[in-house]
Structure 1
Amino acid sequence: MQQAQKPCSGYSYSWTSSQGQKIKSNKQQKYPSQIFSVSLLFPVSDCKVDLSFLIDGSWSIGKRRFQIQKQFLSDVAQALDVGVAGPLMGIVQYGDDPSTEFNLKTHANSRDVKNAIEKIPQKGGRSNVGKALSFVNKNFFLDSNGNRGGAPNVAIVLVDGWPTDKVEEASRLARESGINIFFVTIEGADENEKQNVIEPNFVDKAVCRTNGFYSINVPSWFNLRKVVQTLVKRVCDTDRLACSKTCLNSADIGFVIDGSSSVGTGNFRTVLQFVANISKEFEISDTDTRIGAVQYTYEQRLEFGFDKHSTKQDVLNAIKQINYWSGGTSTGAAISYASEQLFSKSKPNKRKIMILITDGRSYDDVRVPAMTAHQNGVISYSVGIAWAAQDELESIATDPDEEHSFFVDEFDYLYKFVPRIIQNICTEFNSQPRN
């Protein structure tokens, strides 16, 4: 495969292959004789993120612009102030196949990162971005590579022009793994070249939100250095990194547990095991999923709120210690109580999920309290056992009922619903609109 020569005063080249096609021609682009470093030592506080830069090593970029790309990465590393208490940075270069240049734990400061960047040779090949995203999803953010767990995972993709493969599916899988994907595209296709683009609107198909936060388009390589500050500020704005939230670490889950006399002590312990089995599937912390619990009879009791326990083990211990109450069954009042004592204290960026477990018909109305909860953004699951009333379970459940309402004859069969409930919670999360 031949690499086109690209003099600094301009370039004209074409490149094709039997497997992919990427053509550019007659673009006049002036580059300075020197590549200037950008001094951007503005303070970046509280920027604890794990960053993977996917850099374009394809032949279409040329040697000169590959060097500009490396200088851009050095400027970003300097602006970030890389360190173990702040941002960590690794680089994957892609062409025909991606490979890791260095991972998160290789270099612990900006100086070492910059020195490592300077030594990166160009790979060549096509611009297989989708393949690179799949590689990063499976191989980069591993504990063995320095992934810190509590830090958001961010992948920043630099693309010269457009990818030579499809990115949508690989991006979706990466986002569902909790990776925030940013695209920096340089010199996109002009009207004559658009027929060569394999996947039109590939940026919108790849990023988590299509509102412009996750994408930066740079009209020429000469302007790349101007977006360093913009990019650094965005990746460090951890409150807006919504894609680091998956279905397992983004909810406030409140269990509303029937403690009426008809349940009995033995069955009540089975219910608590069911609650524990659901809870342990989630990533639990102050900033991830939080768990709360209410027990009810005629009255209601807050067993523990969302802010009480911040580790999975503490939550599981608290569930085990809930004492069976015994009494009547006022499910409607319990829903209202949970709305006030649990979900009114939910964080704005959390999904509010109520899982109500009951074994009988309520002595009061459940429809109005359930409707009020739904209107306040609570996603409600109802789990009925034995004598629970089907019409009430459907009123409690968020629509569609078949995905949020469950019934079983025996307490001992409750465990069967655990994977279905988790799957439905995740399916619902992943189907949310991305714009």
Structure 2
Amino acid sequence: MRTELLFSGLLVFLFVSNVEVDGSLQKLTYTRWINLLRYAHGQLQRESPSPHESHLPRAEQVETIATAIYRHFFNVVFDLVATEDGRRLLPRSFPVDFLIMLDSSASIGSENFQLALQIITTWIQVLDEENFINDALRVSMISFSEPSKVIHEFSFTSGLDKAGVIDRINSTEYHDGKSTSTVQALWMADSIFTKQSREGVTRVMLLLTDGWSHNQLALPFGVLWPSARLRLQHNVNVYVVGIGDQVNHNELESIASNPDDEHLFEVEDYSMMLEILERIESLDSLE
């Protein structure tokens, strides 16, 4: 059973003073509530095989994942509009606040970090310039490594055009932290959507990471609580890209929105992710 579903159920229990157990009502005490949450958190640390492990040739993997990301991200959050000059991706119904979370821990290394920045800028390049006019799309970004290096790189800024967003992404420094503070970064994302995001907009978050989170016990219940708040309280569509073979699939699954195959994508390396985005740029339409 997916840990996120277990945790979502436990959130409901938080607001209920009595629960039915074996046909009788029993008080859900604070201790029981804490123990249930600790159990859910513990499930994240159990190893599980990735559903995206594949023995397909690399080119076929690139095509499959590119198609999935295009269909479930670009063609859901945005609308494919045909013009004389080709396709354009514009916000589907409402303005979009788009938050990027980028892992900058030591496991990445400076070379891969530069590739990660290139991945993000390519992701932005796929979108049409018109998205940035009249604040139809606003972008913000967090980079994170160890707790003291969880950094809000730039905010949702009105009037920032596409070139300005790309310049801010490219100016991000590699902080080379010794751990991966995903939990603290998720709480920062919660604060950003609470204080800076607009009402009545589509809220989207993209997380890129290559490893397990650390400092799980520094904040209660690890990634579970902030992830649930993002999805359920702030109504954020959370997309996750896990890169390499060291990711904790259970953890990424608990962060991403449902269903997993539309919000969680796992790739072999940073170069493959660039290949995927280059393929997305060449796609004209998807049925």
TM-score (norm 1): 0.39
Question: Is the Cα–Cα contact under 8 Å of residues 305 and 342 in structure 1 kept in the other structure?
Answer: no
Match in the other structure for 2:259: 400
Number of aligned residue pairs: 186
Alpha carbons of structure 1 residues 402 and 343: separation in structure 2 relative to 1, 3 Å: farther
Partner Cα separation in structure 1 for residue 132 and residue 271 of structure 2: 26
Match in the other structure for 1:383: 241
Match in the other structure for 1:294: 142
Query: Which of 174, 177, 181 in structure 2 is aligned with 1:330?
Result: 181
SS at match of 1:284: helix
Question: Is the Cα–Cα contact under 8 Å of residues 309 and 315 in structure 1 kept in the other structure?
Answer: no
Match in the other structure for 1:307: 157
Question: Is the Cα–Cα contact under 8 Å of residues 298 and 330 in structure 1 kept in the other structure?
Answer: yes
Match in the other structure for 2:4: none
Alpha carbons of structure 1 residues 334 and 275: separation in structure 2 relative to 1, 3 Å: same
Alpha carbons of structure 1 residues 267 and 249: separation in structure 2 relative to 1, 3 Å: farther
Query: Which of 354, 365, 381 in structure 1 is aligned with 2:205?
Result: 354
Please say if 1:278 is aligned against 2:123.
yes
1:408 CA displacement: 1.2
| Alignment of structure 1 residues 27-46 onto 2, 5 Å | none
RMSD of Structure 2 on Structure 1 (CA) = 2.9
Amino acid at match of 2:164: D
1:421 CA displacement: 8.5
Deviations 1:37-66 (A, max 9, x none): xxxxxxxxxxxxxxxxxxxxxxxxxxxxxx
Structure 2 alignment gaps of length 5 or more: 1-78, 83-89, 217-221
Partner Cα separation in structure 2 for residue 388 and residue 372 of structure 1: 22
Alpha carbons of structure 1 residues 415 and 287: separation in structure 2 relative to 1, 3 Å: same
Larger Rg: 1
Please say if 1:372 is aligned against 2:229.
yes
Partner Cα separation in structure 1 for residue 280 and residue 230 of structure 2: 19
1:383 CA displacement: 0.7
1:308 CA displacement: 6.1
1:177 CA displacement: 4.1
Alpha carbons of structure 1 residues 298 and 420: separation in structure 2 relative to 1, 3 Å: farther
Structure 1 vs Structure 2: percent identity of aligned residues? 28
Question: Is the Cα–Cα contact under 8 Å of residues 292 and 342 in structure 1 kept in the other structure?
Answer: no
Partner Cα separation in structure 1 for residue 96 and residue 266 of structure 2: 24
1:350 CA displacement: 1.8
Partner Cα separation in structure 1 for residue 243 and residue 108 of structure 2: 9
Comparing both structures, which one devotes a greater share of its residues to helix? Answer: 2
Deviations 1:5-28 (A, max 9, x none): xxxxxxxxxxxxxxxxxxxxxxxx
1:303 CA displacement: 0.4
SS at match of 2:211: coil
Alpha carbons of structure 1 residues 372 and 263: separation in structure 2 relative to 1, 3 Å: same
Structure 1 alignment gaps of length 5 or more: 1-174, 179-244, 428-435
